[in-house]
Amino acid sequence: MVDSPNAVTADRPLRADAERNRRQILDAAQDAFAERGLEIPLDEIAERAGVGIATLYRRFPSREELVAAAFADKLAEYAEAAERALQSPDAWTGFCGFIEHMCALQAADRGFTDVITLSLSCGEAQACRDRAKDAFADLVRRAQDTGVLRDDFVPEDLLLLFFANAGVVQATSQAAPHAWRRLVAFMLEAFRASHPGPLPAALTPPQAERAMRSIAHDKGVCPPT
């Protein structure tokens, strides 16, 4: 069967003007989210992009889709950084390097500070998260098997660190923009196997997921489930 001239297919490229609008929206969103966080009004992003709000919604029907598209490269970097860390010859170096890299990304971009701590259901964003989650779990097992990471560390503890780092970045970004590095250094020392003191119970995976979904809802990125 031959498609009608007006039929739209999923893999058909956008017209040049539509693609230009999409790129302008994404560029504006990336800058706006980095400066103001994810709660910035979408009409302000449309204004920055030089398009109407209706055009923005045609390209990105929800805030969640816009956020996922705007941070697609950094979410991919999240997964790639975890996978690269697994290739480090030294388990502790790989573990610490990954955490320091991700916390640096948080410090450099206010929007990403939020994105890394919330749940996004968009397919590509979720796929990147799943890759990062699997690689980090392997990184944790490797570091524990070699005796450098405390046995009671769980992958969900990374989310706690991201929460803490987000708060430090927000509170000190103007007065002491490098303060987050001290927090991360303290935490990495606490994660060492040479500091085996007892800890309270860890977050469970369902608790971590609920926390991330709650943040996404509170920031208006996606509806409650």
What does the pLDDT look like over 55-99, one tens digit per residue? Answer: 999 999 999 999 999 999 999 999 999 999 999 999 999 999 999
Q: Which two tokens mark 101? A: 């890299």
What does the pLDDT look like over 92-107, one tens digit per residue? Answer: 999 999 999 999 999 9
